[in-house]
């Protein structure tokens, strides 16, 4: 267990369901973070006469300056203990903490503030009753028709043909050229997977389509349950949570546009809207998403649903390995929230 390096000085309530925690860290507790901050800077630093990552530490210290090194070390230390501070203050928070350094000087304690959005006043609907009512209804799963099976086979043939079509050396693909589709034979279906013949392939394909339809029907039922709970619950909605959701939606939107190979500015010109116009349009969805997270967390508290500690660590390690440089504490908080949400969904599905 790591040593406690901080001291909480004050905790006060702010408007709009926010709480501000003021804390400090003594300069003497920053030494290990100074070492890390210097090493982090050394990996990217470039100076005349030295290769990247090979600049001597004494020259780096001179370049950064004592106060600069303290600032970098302070940020590392604060990020390392922020979640622990919030837990000690016994605050049930939502969203990301907003952290800022308020006092910093050579030889003096580092003072900083953590502003967090707390769980708002929530009058939950009778979520068990709502879930039971929806779960008692017969699940309507559309029957798989022969046409749907044949249409799916046609799509598989096209995909297979495109992936396996080759030209003779020197021959190029002509625009509009029709690629011959493979015949649906026993030999063909065996290439696709563990199928004995065409009849076996069609039977299993129909089963898979049916399972997918059942999954979609269950998903629709889940959506109906939570929408009814949101509608019948009363929530004092903090504006910061809605703003956070809009920020996430903006980031996702920009990412989607980039994947399409387009520039955001060009796309906005094409649709004749500004990003601010879109943000206004997103407000209802952002509010709904924020309400959803509040309700899931509130139900988890009411039903004492918690994520398994080992599973949290396991999933956190996976994400940190995949997303190099991700902040461990924030990643852990995100993983825990997702795992708890899964437990709440399962709890609602089990209400009969």
Q: What's the chain's average pLDDT?
A: 89
Give every CB contact of residue 192 below 8 A, 6+ residues apart in sequence.
156, 160, 201
- Which whole-number Å values give the CA distances from 143 to 148, 218, 338, 342, in the listed order? 10, 15, 33, 29
**Proportion of the chain above pLDDT 90, given as a percent:** 61
Which strand (E) or helix (H) includes residue 171? Answer: none
pLDDT digits (tens, 9 = 90+) for 157-194: 999 988 887 655 555 555 556 788 999 999 999 999 99
Residue 278 — very low, low, confident or very high, per pLDDT cuts 50/70/90?
A: very high
Residue 85 burial by CB count (10 A; 0-12/13-18/19+): exposed, middle or buried? buried
CA atoms within 13 A on the CB side of 153: 20
Contact 94, 241 (CB under 8 A): yes
Average pLDDT over residues 62-75: 90
The residue written with tokens 């924020």 in the block is: 290
Residue 2 — very low, low, confident or very high, per pLDDT cuts 50/70/90?
A: low
Q: Rounded to an integer, what is the distance from CA 27 to the centroid of its chain?
A: 35
DSSP symbols for 72-100: HHHHHHHHHHHHHHHHHTT--EEEEEEEE
Residue 283: pLDDT over 90: yes
What pLDDT sits at residue 172?
55
Contact 242, 283 (CB under 8 A): yes
What pLDDT sits at residue 188?
93
Residue 36: pLDDT over 60: yes
Q: Per the confidence metrics, is the pTM higher than 0.75?
A: no
Residue 91: pLDDT over 90: no
Domains and CATH numbers, the chain: 6-118 (3.30.70.1050), 136-165+178-232 (no CATH)
CA 308, CA 311: separation in Å to the nearest integer?
Answer: 5
Contact 141, 198 (CB under 8 A): no
Residue 152 — very low, low, confident or very high, per pLDDT cuts 50/70/90?
A: very high
What pLDDT sits at residue 139?
85
What pLDDT sits at residue 325?
78
Token couple for 47: 């100076």
Q: Rounded to an integer, what is the distance from CA 275 to the centroid of its chain?
A: 22
What pLDDT sits at residue 169?
54
Residue 337: other Cβ atoms inside 10 A: 16
pLDDT digits (tens, 9 = 90+) for 184-233: 999 999 999 999 999 999 999 999 999 999 999 999 999 999 999 999 99
What pLDDT sits at residue 156?
94
């Amino acid at each position: 267990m790591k040593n406690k390096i901080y001291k909480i000085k004050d905790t006060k309530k702010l408007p709009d369901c926010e709480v501000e925690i003021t804390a400090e860290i003594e300069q003497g507790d920053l030494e290990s973070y100074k070492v890390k901050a210097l090493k982090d800077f050394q990996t990217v630093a470039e100076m005349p006469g030295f290769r990247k990552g090979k600049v001597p530490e004494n020259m780096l210290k001179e370049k950064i300056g004592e106060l600069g090194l303290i600032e970098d070390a302070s940020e590392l230390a604060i990020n390392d203990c922020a979640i622990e501070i919030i837990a000690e203050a016994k605050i049930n928070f939502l969203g990301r903490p907003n952290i800022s350094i308020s006092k910093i000087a050579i030889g003096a304690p580092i003072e900083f503030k953590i502003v967090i959005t707390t769980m708002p006043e929530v009058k939950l609907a009778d979520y068990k009753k709502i879930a039971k009512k929806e779960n008692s209804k017969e699940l309507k799963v559309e029957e798989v028709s022969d046409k749907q099976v044949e249409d799916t086979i046609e799509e598989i043939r096209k995909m297979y043909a495109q992936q396996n079509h080759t030209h003779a050396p020197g021959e190029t693909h002509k625009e509009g050229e029709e690629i011959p589709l493979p015949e649906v034979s026993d030999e063909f279906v065996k290439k696709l997977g563990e199928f004995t013949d065409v009849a076996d392939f069609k039977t299993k394909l129909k089963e898979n389509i049916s399972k997918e339809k059942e999954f979609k029907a269950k998903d629709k039922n889940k959506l109906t349950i939570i929408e009814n709970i949101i509608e019948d619950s009363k929530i004092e909605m903090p504006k910061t949570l809605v703003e956070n959701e809009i920020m996430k939606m903006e980031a996702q939107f920009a990412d989607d546009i980039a994947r399409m190979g387009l520039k955001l500015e060009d796309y906005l010109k094409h649709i004749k809207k500004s990003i601010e116009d879109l943000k206004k349009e997103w407000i209802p969805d952002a509010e709904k998403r924020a309400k959803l997270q509040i309700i899931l967390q509130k139900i988890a508290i009411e039903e004492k649903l918690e994520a398994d500690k080992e599973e949290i660590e396991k999933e956190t390690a996976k994400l940190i390995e995949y997303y190099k440089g991700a902040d461990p504490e924030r990643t852990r908080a995100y993983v825990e929230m997702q795992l708890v949400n899964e437990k709440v969904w399962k709890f609602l599905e089990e209400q009969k």
